[in-house]
Amino acid sequence: MLVSGCESCLLADEEFAPLVFELIIEKLLDSEYSTDTKLEICSFLAKACAFFPCHQLVDYIGQLCAGIRSVLFNFPKGTHDDYIPEPITAAVSSLMKVFEESNIKDKRQQIESICHEFIEKGEMFVLQTELGLTDRLLAFFEILLRSSDLSSSVVFENVFSWLLSLCKGDTASSSANKYEVVNSGLRLLCHWIDIAGDLKQVALLRKHHNSFIEMLDKYDREIAQLARYKLLEVCIKLHVNTNGLLEKCKVFLRKSFDTVCSENKELR
């Protein structure tokens, strides 16, 4: 009740915006606070973004993104690889929504700026799989993607570029872990192909499908066959008509007869 009362007071007037956002940033970046406490602050950030006009937010975007990242990168050991707590989802969604629903002229620029802020600081942690943050950050970028239609181009372009590097094994620190990195990349690619299909990313798939097919053709492993099938299926469903796509489908079908007897139910 006390916490709720304090929050109500802080959100009582739009003039409190500087105080509120500076307080949130201070607490999120303070290493003395526990993850649970910082998640409570993220929940309050979601409420603050919903209350204050977007022009009150602009000066604090960079620091707010840094605060959210600090929570995202420091979950307790044992946390599931792709787990994103609801308070972080709420904070990011509310942050994006306040610009999405505004009437400001540069709202696309502001939304893309938020995306770039997370992308630039997160790229290294996606590509260096040995850090153990790849799945979590890609799950976070999916939240970012689904929070605003205006974020799709920026997020998809970067994620597809990262996935291509992961699937090729370009980011592997040694030959010993390359197989694992490639398998992980192919698994994530399957998921993001599904997302691209759900969100009807025709232009994106038209631009990138050749690069992915060329890469997938180099692998015989089942997860690569599954990714190839998903990619071709989504391209056909979305009418991604390009030179050679039909021929690629025919070649894939001819090579796929053996999978009818595969023990992999999903692939079969």
Domain boundaries in the chain?
1-104
Q: Tokens 């993001």 sit at which residue?
A: 192
Give mean pLDDT, residues 175-202: 92
Query: CA–CA distance from 97 to each of 69, 151, 255 (Å)?
Result: 19, 11, 46
What letters, b where the CB count within 10 A reaches 16 and e where it falls short, cover 46-80? bbbbebbebebbeebbebbbebbbebbeebeeeee
Is the pLDDT at 265 greater than 50? The verdict is yes
Taking only the tens place, the pLDDT of each residue in 39-61 is 999 999 999 999 999 999 999 99
Give me the amino acid identity at 11.
L
Give mean pLDDT, residues 81-110: 93
**CB distance 260 to 227 below 8 Å:** no
DSSP code at position 92: H
**CB distance 142 to 188 below 8 Å:** no
Q: For 47-51, 60-64, 96-100, 176-180, which range has the lowest pLDDT when averaged over its residues?
A: 176-180
Phi and psi based region of residue 221 (left: phi greater than 0; alpha: psi -120 to 50; beta: remaining):
beta
State both tokens at 206.
Answer: 């038209």
H or E segment at 131? none
Is the pLDDT at 1 greater than 70? The verdict is no
H or E segment at 191? helix 178-198
State both tokens at 79.
Answer: 């946390």
Its sign, for the CA torsion 227, 209, 147, 111, is: positive
Distance CA 120, CA 114 (A): 10
Q: Tokens 């996606």 sit at which residue?
A: 126
pLDDT range class, residue 232, cuts 50, 70, 90: confident
Distance CA 231, CA 46 (A): 36
Torsion of CA 227, 225, 184, 242, to 10 degrees: -40
Task: Name the residue among 247, 250, 209 with its Cα closest to residue 230.
Answer: 209
Helix-helix angle 107-127:61-72, to 10 degrees: 30
Q: Tokens 């007071």 sit at which residue?
A: 9
**CB distance 95 to 101 below 8 Å:** no
- 154 or 13, greater pLDDT: 154
Angle at CA 252, nearest 5°, toward 258 and 179?
75
**What is the percentage of the chain residues whose pLDDT exceeds 70?**
87
φ, ψ for residue 50 (rounded to 5)?
A: -75, -25
